[in-house]
């Protein structure tokens, strides 16, 4: 399969993830959509790695996976902390940072 | 054969993605993401990156998603309200997403990529194998490897601190009140939310 | 020491005196400030005498020296130095100013002794003398303007000396505003001079002017008219004269020094100094001369009817300066300046005597209430009589020789200038009448209550302090110098000063007896050598003829005053009844104040309030507030972006990214 298929698929997945972040209000689902976007990036990286014959892309994808894992950990930690303090888990209700 | 596998994986990935965005219940979204991750792993295999595929399944679908499952079970999947407070968001978001997709596709399908050979170059045996990736990690990308380890350590410590239970905030008896907390409507927190977090 | 070094010393001492008394405002006890001030001016006079001696050592043609301390402004075609110019004219003025100032300081030493602002008074007075000396010694137009402005300030400060009194502060402001009008004229004239001749320095300007200008070319006429605006404002000539009577709100020594002897003569000095320009613009010179004549007659007519003692003397000052202006405008420079000198003597003397009488009257200045002081205050009475004789031009006094020298010069020039001579003699008649009006009203007759108190007890009467102009009661310490009033009979300083001036007023004329000697004329000749008019010299017989007419006029005026006030008392009341409209016209000062109010003050105020109501509110405030509202509105619009919704921020992010990607796609294709 030519590289373009994988790349277009990656773009599509990225767009879906972006729309999910913008549309959904639940904190957990927003984090899930962020995962979608990161994985789309990973797919693109691995596709390029195959197409260019260079394994650096795969290593890059591994590191991205590590970063994603860390981010998920912190994000979920925040959600738990919010939950513990009886704060709403709706991103529209957490809006104290405003002008 | 390759095409069939590709399309299977693609449909799985895309379907999972749309399901993540679409399901109302966060628990179902988590499950949909797991499906998505497996499909991606399959696609990785097609792209001769075995180690990344395995890592995807073991680390991502295995550990990270399990974490999601735990937290979703703990927090409880609350339904979101249907009313949209931000004017125009429901309209503009898909629009911007579509615009993004179109532009990226144009960029991808533009002339610059035509230089690439459709099938890709000859790749040596062991391309994408654990040995090859391991050698790369230990030789060329040592710094990145160590930095990633450091990051993991930080994240772990941070998560522990963030989610730790502090006795003055929530005495154990308050956990019984959680049963009432099924709606997503804003309620006054019993503790002032401006208390310093750490 | 060179002449210019003496000149710098002349300037230094009053400045030092002013600064020392100002800095030691609270430290100097009792009358020390007065001593410091008087000594400073006395030293200045001494240096002036030394300067004179030094200058006389030079041959007549080279009696002019310039000197400068440092460059004041030296860039882009400007070359202004802090410079002075010493020549017979400036030395003459220095001697007159510093000499009379010394005597007045001596007078004030006693007169102002119990005033709360004694130190401040001497500081201001010394500063005034410094500024006046700077004005007359200036070597270029810029320093002249500096001195001019300082003198204006000193006048303002001294008129409003008793600043708690509202009439005084208003008078000070009036004087200052009219002064500023004059300043504008002077500055515009200087700018024109610079534009035409390219320099501010006296030497260069007066050397190049005759080559540069045609006679009566409009530029030089304009320059001279602007100079006249300045001169008339300072010397209280029509129509810029309305400040001088009001300036009598200041203490009497101030009136004596500033508004009789020195500051008001600055205009005369200016015309004399710039005579080269006036020679090139005879039109302007004629305008000056006839304005002087008009002032002479108008002021004299007013002095016949007003009843405030100091204001009578003020109007007589205005009138006499008219003579001086006539003198220097028609080319009788040394005559005009000689009259300046003698006028300084007898006018200062008159004011000093008036001060003594006012003190005896416990601050009342209304001559209708005064009588019989001849017995109560003999010394003051004698000095008053001497001053009035000199003012009236009684034969033998200094005023006699000086006034008539101007008039004989005028009739000698002939043509329309004979009008000046005739008007001048008419003015002399009026002068004699009103000056002896004062004498015959105040001195003879039944002593008024204050005079009787003085005769009987030997002390000055004590009365409630009252504003002399409005008859409103005031707090002590605001108005009249302190609770104690000092009259000449009881204060040594006053007596010495008045005696010296009386002697000078009587015999000062001997230096300029026609046919006998010509001290002033010869002394001043080098300064005016470059003027064609200075060569005109009436013959001695013509001069004695003029003196004869002058003596007849003066004696008849005194006789008329005697008839009206002594021989047939009550005749003035009858005259006032019969000529009531004329009397009120004169009493209201020819309605000049009202005319200026209607013609100038009200339009300016109307423009100001229009500007305030419309322009200021609509345009300026509109722009300022409009800008504020614009910014606030824009801020409000921008603020809506900060909604607090994370998702809208994310939407912005994605939109921005999409836009950026679009841009790069477009530019790379």
Any domain includes B139: yes
User: How confident is the model over C14-72, as pLDDT tens digits?
Assistant: 999 999 999 987 887 778 888 889 999 999 999 999 999 988 888 877 778 888 878 77
Q: Estimate to the nearest angstrom the gap between the alpha carbon of C661 and the chain centroid.
A: 82
Residue B9 in this model has a pLDDT that exceeds 90: yes
Same domain, B74 and B133: no
Alpha-carbon distance C641 to nearest alpha carbon in chain B (angstroms):
11
CB contact under 8 A, A95 and C646: yes
Interface check C640 vs B, CB under 8 A:
no
Residue A45 C-alpha, separation from nearest chain C C-alpha, in angstroms: 19
Over the stretch C597-652, which tens digit does the pLDDT of each residue have?
888 889 999 998 888 888 888 888 888 998 999 999 999 988 887 778 888 889 99
Contact A94 C642 (CB under 8 A): no
Give the pLDDT band of residue B182 (cuts 50, 70, 90).
very low
- pLDDT of C352 reads 92
Partners of residue B100 in chain C, C-beta under 8 Å? 654, 657-658, 661
> What pLDDT does C507 receive?
86
C433 and C458 inside one domain? yes
Which of A14, A16, A17, A18 is the best mutation test for C, with the most CBs of C within 10 A? A18
> For residue B10, what is the domain's CATH number?
1.20.120.1200
Are C29 and C79 in the same domain?
Answer: yes
Give the whole-angstrom CA distance, residue C311 versus residue C357.
14
Q: Quick check: C74 contacting A, CB < 8 Å?
A: no
Question: Which tokens hold the place of C261?
Answer: 């002897």
Mean pLDDT of A55-74: 94
Domain boundary among C522, C555, C587: C587
pLDDT at C413: 80
Does the pLDDT of residue C572 top 90, yes or no?
no
The single-letter DSSP state of residue C67 is E
C501 and C620 share one domain: no
Mean predicted confidence (pLDDT) in B143-152: 94
| Between B175 and C97, the higher pLDDT residue | C97
How far from the centroid of its chain's Cα atoms is residue C561's Cα? 29
pLDDT band, residue A99 (cuts 50/70/90): low
Split at pLDDT 50, 70, 90, the class of C593 is confident
- Interchain contact B72–A (C-beta under 8 A): yes
pLDDT of residue C63: 76
Distance of CA C462 to the CA centre of its chain: 33
Query: Cα angle at C369 between C366 and C373, to 5 degrees?
Result: 105
Identify which of C643, C645, C654 has the shortest CB distance to residue A18.
C654
> Based on the number of CB atoms within 10 Å of its own CB, is B83 exposed (0-12), middle (13-18) or buried (19 or more)?
exposed
pLDDT at residue B116 in the model: 56
Q: Would residue C68 count as lying in a domain?
A: yes
Q: pTM of the entire structure? A: 0.69
Task: Tell me the C-alpha distance between A35 and A43, whole Å.
Answer: 12
* Residue B180 domain-assigned (yes or no): no
Instruction: Looking at the complex, report in whole angstroms how far the Cα of residue B143 sits from the nearest Cα belonging to chain A.
Output: 11
Same domain, B128 and B69: no
Contact status of C644 with chain A (Cβ, < 8 Å)? yes
Is B184 near chain A, with CB under 8 Å? Answer: yes
B54 band by pLDDT with thresholds 50, 70 and 90: very high
Q: Is the pLDDT of residue C223 over 70?
A: yes
Structural domains counted in chain C = 3
> Nearest-CA distance from C620 to chain A in Å?
32
**Is the pLDDT higher at C67 or at B130?**
B130
Closest B-chain CA to C650: B93
> What is the rounded average pLDDT for all residues in chain C?
86
Chain A contact probe: residue of C632, C639, C644 with most A CBs at under 10 A = C644
Neighboring chain C residues of B99 at a CB cutoff of 8 Å? 658, 662
State both tokens at C596: 């200026």
| Residue recorded with tokens 């002697």 | C503
- pLDDT band (50, 70, 90) for residue B190: very low
The last residue of one of the domains, among C265, C280, C295, is: C280
State the pLDDT confidence band at A33, using cuts at 50, 70 and 90: very high
Note whether C494 and C531 are same-domain residues: yes
Higher pLDDT among residues C508 and C300, named by residue: C300
Verify whether the Cβ–Cβ distance C665 to B107 is below 8 Å: yes
Instruction: Looking at the structure, tell me whether residues B12 and B68 fall in a common domain.
Output: yes
Put simply, the answer to whether C651 touches B110 (Cβ < 8 Å) is no
B129 in helix, strand or coil? coil
* C669 chain-B contacts, CB cut-off 8 A: 110
- Asked if the Cβ–Cβ distance from A70 to B151 is below 8 Å, we say yes
**Where in the sequence is the domain holding B131, given as residue range(s)?**
124-164
Query: Of all residues in chain C, what percent carry a pLDDT higher than 90?
Result: 35
Q: Report the chain A residue with the minimal C-alpha distance to residue C649.
A: A22
Least confident of A71-85, B79-93, C126-140, C461-475: C461-475
In this structure, the answer to whether residues B69 and B132 fall within a common structural domain is: no
Tens digits of residue pLDDT in C344-401: 999 999 999 998 888 888 777 888 888 888 888 888 899 999 999 999 988 888 888 8
pLDDT at position B187 over 80? no
Per-residue 3-state assignment (H helix, E strand, C coil) for chain A: CCHHHHHHHHHHHHHHHHHHHHHCCEHHHHHHHHHHHHHHHHHHHHHHHHHHCCCHHHHHHHHHHHHHHHHHHHHHHHHHHHHHCCCCCECCCCCCCCC
Chain A residues closer than 8 Å to C650 by CB: 21-22
- List domains and CATH numbers for chain A: 7-84 (1.10.287.3510)
The pair phi, psi for residue B188, each rounded to 5°, is -65, 125
Is the same domain home to C255 and C338? no
**Same domain (yes/no): C571, C641:** no
Q: What would the mean pLDDT of C154-161 be, rounded to a whole number? A: 92
User: Which pLDDT belongs to residue B191?
Assistant: 46
Q: Are B36 and B16 in contact (CB under 8 A)?
A: yes
Which residue matches tokens 């009120």?
Answer: C584
Secondary structure element (H or E) that encloses residue A14, with its range: helix A3-23
Q: Is residue C318 domain-resident?
A: no
> Is the CB of residue C643 less than 8 Å away from at least one CB of chain B?
yes
Q: Could you give the CA distance from residue C71 to residue C93 in angstroms, rounded to a whole number?
A: 25
Q: Token pair for residue C79?
A: 């070359």
A59 Cβ contact partners less than 8 Å away, ≥ 6 residues apart: B133, B136, B137, B140, B141, B144
How distant is the Cα of C634 from the closest Cα of chain B, in angstroms?
Answer: 21
Report the pLDDT value the prediction gives residue B184, as an integer from 0 to 100.
46
Residues B12 and B66 in one domain: yes
Mean pLDDT across the stretch C202-216? 84
CB-based contact C151:C102 (threshold 8 Å): no
Residues C371 and C479 in one domain: yes
Q: Which residues of C touch A33 (CB under 8 A)?
A: none
Residue C510 lies in a domain: yes
Nearest CA in chain C to A96: C644
Residue B195 has pLDDT above 60, yes or no: no
Domain extent for C484: 334-587
- CA–CA dist C119, C112 (Å, integer): 10
* Residue B85 domain flag: no
With 80 as the cut, is the pLDDT of residue B164 above it?
A: no
Mean pLDDT of the residues in chain B: 81
Contact C650 A99 (CB under 8 A): no
Percent of chain A with pLDDT over 70: 96
Burial class (CB in 10 A: 0-12, 13-18, 19+), C311: buried
Q: Does residue B181 sit within a domain?
A: no
Q: What is the mean pLDDT of residues A15-40?
A: 94
Cα distance between residue C83 and residue C90, in whole Å: 13
> Taking each helix axis from N to C terminus, what angle separates B2-22 and A27-52, rounded to the nearest 10 degrees?
160
**For residue C492, what are the contacts with CB-CB under 8 A and spacing of at least 6?**
C110
Q: What is the mean pLDDT of residues C530-535?
A: 74
Q: Give which of C564, C584, C611 is closest to C438, Cα–Cα.
A: C564
Question: Which residue, of C259, C280, C301, is where some domain finishes?
Answer: C280
Q: Which chains touch A (3 or more CB pairs under 8 A)?
A: B, C
């Amino acid at each position: 399969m030519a590289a373009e298929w994988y790349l277009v698929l990656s773009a599509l997945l990225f767009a879906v993830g972006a729309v999910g972040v913008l549309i959904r209000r639940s904190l957990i689902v927003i984090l899930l959509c962020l995962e979608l976007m990161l994985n789309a990036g990973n797919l693109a990286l691995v596709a390029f790695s195959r197409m260019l014959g260079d394994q650096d892309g795969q290593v890059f994808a591994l590191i991205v996976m590590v970063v994603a894992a860390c981010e998920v950990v912190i994000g979920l930690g925040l959600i738990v902390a919010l939950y513990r303090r009886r704060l709403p888990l709706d991103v529209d209700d957490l809006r104290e940072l405003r002008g | 054969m390759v095409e069939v596998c590709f399309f299977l994986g693609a449909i799985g990935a895309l379907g999972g993605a749309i399901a993540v965005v679409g399901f109302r219940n966060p628990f179902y979204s988590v499950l949909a993401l797991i499906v998505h991750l497996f499909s991606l792993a399959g696609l990785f295999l097609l792209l001769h990156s075995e180690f990344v595929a395995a890592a995807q399944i073991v680390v991502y679908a295995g550990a990270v998603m399990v974490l999601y499952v735990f937290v979703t079970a703990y927090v409880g999947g609350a339904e979101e309200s249907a009313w949209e407070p931000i004017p125009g968001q429901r309209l503009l978001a898909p629009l911007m997403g579509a615009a993004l997709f179109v532009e990226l596709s144009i960029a991808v399908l533009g002339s610059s990529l035509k230089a690439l050979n459709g099938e890709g170059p000859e790749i040596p045996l062991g391309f994408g194998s654990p040995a090859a990736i391991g050698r790369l990690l230990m030789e060329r990308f040592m710094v990145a490897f160590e930095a990633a380890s450091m990051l993991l350590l930080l994240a772990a410590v941070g998560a522990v601190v963030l989610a730790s239970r502090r006795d003055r905030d929530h005495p154990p008896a308050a956990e019984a009140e959680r049963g009432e907390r099924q709606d997503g409507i804003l309620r006054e927190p019993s503790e002032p939310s401006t208390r310093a977090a750490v | 020491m060179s002449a210019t070094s003496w000149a710098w010393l002349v300037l230094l001492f009053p400045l030092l005196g002013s600064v020392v008394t100002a800095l030691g405002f609270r430290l100097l006890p009792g009358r020390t400030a007065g001593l410091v001030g008087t000594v400073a001016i006395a030293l200045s006079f001494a240096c002036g005498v030394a300067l004179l001696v030094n200058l006389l050592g030079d041959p007549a043609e080279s009696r002019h020296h310039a000197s400068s301390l440092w460059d004041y402004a030296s860039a882009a075609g400007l070359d202004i130095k802090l410079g002075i110019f010493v020549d017979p004219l400036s030395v003459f003025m220095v001697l007159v100013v510093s000499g009379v100032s010394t005597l007045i300081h001596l007078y004030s030493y006693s007169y102002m002794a119990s005033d709360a602002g004694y130190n401040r008074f001497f500081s201001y007075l010394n500063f005034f003398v410094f500024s006046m000396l700077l004005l007359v010694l200036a070597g270029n137009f810029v320093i002249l303007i500096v001195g001019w402005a300082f003198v204006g300030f000193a006048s303002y400060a001294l008129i409003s000396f008793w600043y708690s009194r509202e009439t005084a502060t208003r008078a000070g402001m009036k004087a200052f505003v009219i002064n500023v009008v004059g300043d504008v004229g002077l500055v515009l004239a200087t700018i024109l001079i610079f534009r035409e001749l390219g320099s501010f320095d006296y030497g260069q300007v007066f050397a190049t002017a005759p080559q540069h200008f045609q006679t009566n070319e409009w530029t030089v006429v304009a320059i001279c008219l602007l100079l006249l605006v300045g001169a008339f404002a300072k010397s209280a000539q029509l129509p810029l004269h309305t400040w001088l009577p009001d300036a009598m709100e200041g203490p009497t020594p101030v009136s004596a020094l500033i508004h009789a002897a020195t500051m008001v003569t600055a205009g005369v000095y200016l015309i004399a100094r710039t005579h080269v320009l006036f020679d090139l613009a005879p039109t302007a010179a004629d305008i000056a001369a006839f304005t002087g004549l008009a002032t002479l007659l108008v002021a004299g007519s007013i002095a016949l009817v007003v009843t405030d003692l100091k204001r009578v003397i003020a109007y007589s000052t205005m009138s006499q300066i008219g003579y001086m202006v006539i003198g220097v405008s028609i080319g009788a420079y040394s005559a005009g300046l000689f009259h300046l000198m003698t006028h300084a003597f007898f006018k200062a003397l008159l004011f000093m005597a008036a001060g003594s009488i006012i003190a005896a009257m416990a601050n009342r200045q209304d001559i209708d209430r005064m009588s019989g002081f001849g017995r109560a205050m003999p010394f003051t009475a004698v000095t008053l009589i001497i001053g009035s004789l000199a003012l009236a031009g009684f034969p033998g006094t200094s005023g006699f020789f000086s006034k008539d020298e101007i008039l004989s010069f005028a009739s000698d020039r002939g043509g329309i200038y004979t009008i000046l001579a005739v008007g001048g003699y008419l003015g002399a008649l009026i002068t004699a009448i009103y000056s002896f009006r004062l004498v015959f009203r105040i001195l003879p007759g039944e002593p008024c209550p204050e005079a009787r108190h003085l005769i009987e007890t030997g002390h000055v009467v004590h009365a409630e302090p009252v504003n002399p102009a409005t008859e409103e009661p005031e707090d002590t310490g605001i108005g009249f110098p302190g609770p104690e009033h000092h009259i000449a009979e009881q204060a040594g300083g006053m007596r010495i000063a008045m005696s010296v001036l009386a002697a000078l007023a009587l015999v000062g004329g001997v230096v300029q007896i026609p046919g006998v000697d010509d001290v002033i004329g010869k002394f001043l000749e080098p300064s005016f050598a470059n003027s064609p008019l200075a060569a005109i010299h009436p013959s001695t017989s013509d001069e004695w003829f003029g003196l004869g007419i002058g003596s007849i006029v003066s004696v008849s005026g005194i006789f008329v005053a005697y008839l009206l006030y002594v021989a047939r008392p009550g005749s003035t009341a009858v005259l006032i009844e019969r000529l009531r409209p004329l009397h009120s016209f004169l009493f209201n000062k020819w309605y000049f104040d009202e005319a200026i109010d209607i013609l100038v003050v009200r339009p300016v105020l109307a423009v100001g309030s229009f500007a305030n109501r419309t322009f200021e509110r609509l345009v300026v405030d509109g722009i300022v507030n409009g800008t504020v509202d614009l910014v606030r509105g824009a801020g409000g619009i921008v603020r809506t972006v900060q909604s607090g919704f994370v998702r809208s921020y994310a939407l912005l992010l994605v939109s921005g990214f999409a836009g950026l990607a679009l841009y790069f796609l477009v530019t790379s294709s």
